[in-house]
Structure 1
Amino acid sequence: MTEKTDGLPYRPCAGIMLVNRDWRVFVGQRIDQQVEAWQMPQGGIDKGEDPRTAAFRELEEEVGTAKAELIAESGGWVNYDLPAHLVGKVWKGRFRGQAQKWFLLRFTGEDTDIDIETDHPEFETWRWARLSELVDMAIEFKRDTYRQVVAEFAPHFPEEAR
């Protein structure tokens, strides 16, 4: 913990690993990044909101679809800290990072059902990625989180899709 983060809480967040019928994972390239980094959908949990409800709400807000069903939920929460240069700049400076509850969802629609041009777009482009690619595609400070999520959800994937 640094002086900048002393006393700051983690922001409650729902993370979504959305997989298609081929067991590829949805990743989007954020609009607001200067580096090429991809991420799975994620977003804040509103006060009093159930994490699972938040995950499905965020899926609609970021990916433009509700066509998904639950496969699994992470057993616990995964925390990450923001890099020092972002503390105080994102989330109005109220949080040191995020505490994320992750959900593995099966996409039940077609690619044409995905529309990232939402009311508040977060992604400039998207694609389906292999599970084994996710960690290397993520921005550096989220890689440990992605390692944990991949390890937890990998047993749900067929061997050939890992």
Structure 2
Amino acid sequence: MPGKAELENLPYRPCVGIMLINEDGQIFTAERLDKPGAWQMPQGGIDKGEDIEAAALRELEEETSVKPSDVKILAKTSDWISYDLPDHLVGKMWGGKFKGQKQQWYLMQLVASEHVIDLDVDHPEFAKWKWSSKHELIDEIVPFKQDVYKSVLRAFKQYLD
């Protein structure tokens, strides 16, 4: 495990996050396969040289089967939102190369039927999914990501009220 000074010098992993909403403004959340009871919105790394919006659409499809033609992009965060991993996870996640993630978030509305959502994908990350309210979203997320999710909710507030 790296020392405290080494942890500070580690970079953040560039990542995208997707807040997918339905026509009623409810938020797509999914329970992680590897951590029952841990719910989150789709997210994932940005490949080297990849356009950020393309990464968001790719991650959404890889994790939920929702295609770019099934959504309308409503907004994106104006800046990166970062978080630090808890100390006990730093050496275990992403080969110990990052201290956390910096994320660009996209708000997308599902314009197709919710039947397009299918978690049975090539590399499944989620066991089940549901539509959540803003309050459920914060209550069910792992504690070290709660501030990120609160920031995302503030960024997209005008679309969710």
Fold agreement, TM-score > 0.5: yes
Shift of 1:151: 0.9
For 1:133 and 1:149, the matched residues in 2 are separated by 14
For 1:108 and 1:120, the matched residues in 2 are separated by 25
Q: TM-score, normalised by structure 2?
A: 0.93
SS state of the match for residue 126, structure 1?
A: strand
Check whether the contact 1:4–1:87 (CA below 8 A) recurs between aligned residues.
no
State the Cα deviation string for residues 2-39 of structure 1 (Å, max 9, x = none).
335132110000000000111111000011115x1210
Structure 1 residue aligned with 2:74: 71
Q: Unaligned regions of 5+ residues in structure 1, if any?
A: none
For 1:17 and 1:82, the matched residues in 2 are separated by 21
Q: TM-score, normalised by structure 1?
A: 0.93
Aligned residue runs from structure 1 range 100-115, under 5 A = 100-115=103-118
Q: Does 2:147 align with 1:116?
A: no
Structure 2 residue aligned with 1:42: 43
Identity %, equivalent residues: 47
For 1:127 and 1:80, the matched residues in 2 are separated by 25
Structure 2 residue aligned with 1:10: 12
- RMSD over aligned CA atoms reads 1.3
Q: Which runs of 4+ in 1 moved over 3 A?
A: none
The structure with the largest helix share of the pair is 2
Q: Unaligned regions of 5+ residues in structure 2, if any?
A: none
Structure 2 residue aligned with 1:93: 96
